[in-house]
Amino acid sequence: MSDGAAVLGPDGLARCPWGGLAAASAEDYRVYHDTEWGRPVHGDDALYERICLEAFQSGLSWLTVLRRREGFRAAFAGFSIEKVAAFTPADEERLLADPGIIRNRAKITAAVENARAAERLGEGELDALVWSFAPAAGRPVPRTSADVPAITAESTALAKDLKKRGFRFVGPTTAYALMQACGLVDDHLADCHVRG
List the binding residues for Zn(2+): 16, 33, 188, 192
CA distances in angstroms from 129 to 17, 74, 77, 107, 174, listed in the order given? 31, 26, 23, 22, 16
Asked about 62 being catalytic, the answer comes back as yes
Q: Single out the catalytic residue among 18, 36, 62, 131.
A: 62
Contact 133, 157 (CB under 8 A): yes
Residue ranges of the annotated binding site are 16, 33, 188, 192
Our CA angle for 114, 116, 120, nearest 5°, is 115
Asked about 70 being catalytic, the answer comes back as no
Q: Single out the catalytic residue among 54, 119, 154, 176.
A: 54
Q: Which helix (H) or strand (E) holds 168?
A: none
Q: Which helix (H) or strand (E) holds 15?
A: strand 14-15
Q: Which of 79, 80, 74 is nearest to 100 (CA)?
A: 74
Q: What is the DSSP letter of 148?
A: S
- Helix 89-96 to helix 105-121 angle (10° resolution) is 140
Bridge partners (DSSP) of residue 14 are 8
**Percent helix / strand / coil, the chain, rounded to 5:** 55, 0, 45
Q: Single out the catalytic residue among 32, 37, 48, 176.
A: 32
Q: Which residues are catalytic?
A: 32, 54, 62
